[in-house]
Structure 1
């Protein structure tokens, strides 16, 4: 049975994740309080469900571990680029190369095949691999579009420890959810109270 992000973590999608599939992908590895983590792509079935929910693969795609691993790898490269952009630091060349590779690896047309009995036909070399490569290309293109758009100025990491999600900042909001905002405010209040009691 599929579980949504909210059901697994109690968190709604971060601001901007519904409009940008790359931001949603970056936020599929979630750090929670108490050193807990949730990986929404941890198994091939979860990766398949995530792609299907975003219209990036048909329900019958039957994603295998190799393809799920490619999706998780792209996620880490996108996270690296988002972190660099949010912090105003240079990007790792390997992360840029991974995005470009994902965008250009996808076949632009089915390949010509030849069957001795039935003759020529066109098909992707492996349908599931082709589906995943198209999904990876779409996600990489969305990351590139976001990073080069005016919205990139609003890209930030959630300011509530230990959360590791990214969001598109709205106004002064630097948290991915109300829960993270409440946790950050409570931590600040506790720190102020501790300082005043110590002083």
Structure 2
């Protein structure tokens, strides 16, 4: 039986900064929407599709649950480090260890190759069982840059509850990851103001 491959694209545009940082988009593949939680890496086929879409695996790659589980575990550690960075709390040692291990597990550089069809070209060459390691090394390297580089000071968690995505703020006043989350925040504030206005209205006797 062939497993059905479900789309891995979130029903939201990428959060600000996710186009530049694959690690941010990776962390945001575990999200919460008003309708409930959504895991874009919940199956091996979904993990494979996500990696292929982000140029982290060849189109014919096949991942199994063991590797998919390792990717989800790395994602959890990355989210813990993002939470640490955005809240100013100590970084969990186990999360630092997980990202550092991923950094050194597999070479992330695309090597130079030649064949009669493509001529000279660059591509990662890994056995099938190392596709996940290669992807994790690339993600970890980008995560290290994101958490320590020039965008680190602008990292924030989305303020549009219940959203759990992270973003790189494009300006100081931005605190949500999408127009949808921003609209939800503004609607909630408007509703709260209306309720407060009603509560302040004097009660007239009949």
1:49 aligns with 2:49: yes
**In the alignment, is the contact (CA less than 8 A) between 1:85 and 1:91 conserved in 2?**
yes
Partner secondary structure for residue 130 of structure 2? helix
Q: Which residue in the other structure is 1:3 paired with? A: 7
Where in structure 2 are the equivalents of 1:157-196 lying within 5 Å? 157-171=157-171, 172-196=173-197
Q: How far apart are 1:58 and its partner, in Å? A: 0.5
**Number of aligned pairs?**
179
The change in CA–CA distance for 1:17 and 1:107 in structure 2 (over 3 A counts) is closer
CA contact (8 A) 2:81 2:96 kept: yes
Unaligned runs of 5+ in 1: 109-125
Alpha-carbon distance, 1:61 to partner = 1.3
Over the residues paired in the alignment, what is the CA RMSD in angstroms?
1.7
Distance 1:107 1:192 in 2: 55
Give 1:4 deviation, angstroms. 5.2
The 2-side partners of 1:44 and 1:4 are apart by 11
Instruction: Report the Cα offset of residue 104 of structure 1.
Output: 1.3
2:32 corresponds to: 31
Distance 1:86 1:187 in 2: 24
Q: For residues 195 and 66 of structure 2, what CA distance do their matches in structure 1 show?
A: 50
Q: Which has the higher helix share?
A: 1
